[in-house]
């Protein structure tokens, strides 16, 4: 697949805005790993859905808001970020139509518009590993930790090195990969942080986070082989 004509950050962000403007669904449905993370009980991950009621959650890189109905049903105070006001407005309108209160703001993974210790929970579904020019994954980790209270939960996904979108990607070192052949044509030029094993995940998030519960999903969606880590951990006290 050929690269996009313009792979500058502004152009790539604009491509995302156009994507969400075009698809703009009335109803949205949560990602499976998010449902499992908040509602499931597994040998390496136990959760109590009732414990989330009244908690303030940040849906980082919330996209079309697909996980917000679940967060709403759990009784949480919902906040979200996206990379443009256009996407924020579309998602806010969609949530309003569904009777869901959510406060959205423009933000980047390394620059979030919130005070220190503001959130009890941060959900980063296919989001926190996007790296802006001039930054590293460590900048994202530090910023996410900054806006969380001590002991708060971080639930996120991250790419395994074999996932489809990283095929043909340029290796920039330290797991930072520049996408070159996104089958969907959305992310060419973006830099992602990938992880090849669980130890790399813990090393990248410590000492800001502890108590790691790590799973993985290796799916073949009719030719799209999506391989991701699913992680729950706590902000260090």
pLDDT (0 to 100) of residue 8? 64
What is the pLDDT confidence band of residue 4, given thresholds at 50, 70 and 90? very low
> How much is the pTM?
0.93
pLDDT (0 to 100) of residue 1? 36
pLDDT tens string 191-206:
999 999 999 999 999 9
pLDDT at 13 over 80: no
Percent of the chain at pLDDT above 70? 93
Percent of the chain at pLDDT above 90? 88
pLDDT (0 to 100) of residue 15? 72
In CATH, the number for domain 9-235 is 3.40.50.150
DSSP state string for 161-227: TTSGGGTT-EE-STTEEE----TTSS-TT-EEE-BSSHHHHHHHHTTTEEEEEEEEEEEEETTEEEE
């Amino acid at each position: 697949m050929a690269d996009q004509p313009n792979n500058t950050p502004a152009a790539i962000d604009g491509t995302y805005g156009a994507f969400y403007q075009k698809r703009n669904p009335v109803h949205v449905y949560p990602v499976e790993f998010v449902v499992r993370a908040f509602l499931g009980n597994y040998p390496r991950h136990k959760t109590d859905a009732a414990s989330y009621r009244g908690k303030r959650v940040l849906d980082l890189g919330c996209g079309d808001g697909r996980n917000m109905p679940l967060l709403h049903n759990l009784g949480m105070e919902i906040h979200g970020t996206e990379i443009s006001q256009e996407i924020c407005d579309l998602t806010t309108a969609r949530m309003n139509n569904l009777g869901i209160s959510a406060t959205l703001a423009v933000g980047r993974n390394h620059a979030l518009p919130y005070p220190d210790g503001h959130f009890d929970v941060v959900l980063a579904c296919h989001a926190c590993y996007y790296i802006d020019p001039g930054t590293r994954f460590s900048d994202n980790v530090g910023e996410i930790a900054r806006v969380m209270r001590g002991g708060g939960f971080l639930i996120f996904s991250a790419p395994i090195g074999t996932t489809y979108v990283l095929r043909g990607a340029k290796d920039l070192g330290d797991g930072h990969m520049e996408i070159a052949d996104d089958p969907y044509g959305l992310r060419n030029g973006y830099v992602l942080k990938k992880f090849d094993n669980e130890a790399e995940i813990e090393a990248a998030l410590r000492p800001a986070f502890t108590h790691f519960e790590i799973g993985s999903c290796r799916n073949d969606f009719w030719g799209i082989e999506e391989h991701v880590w699913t992680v729950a951990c706590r902000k260090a006290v």
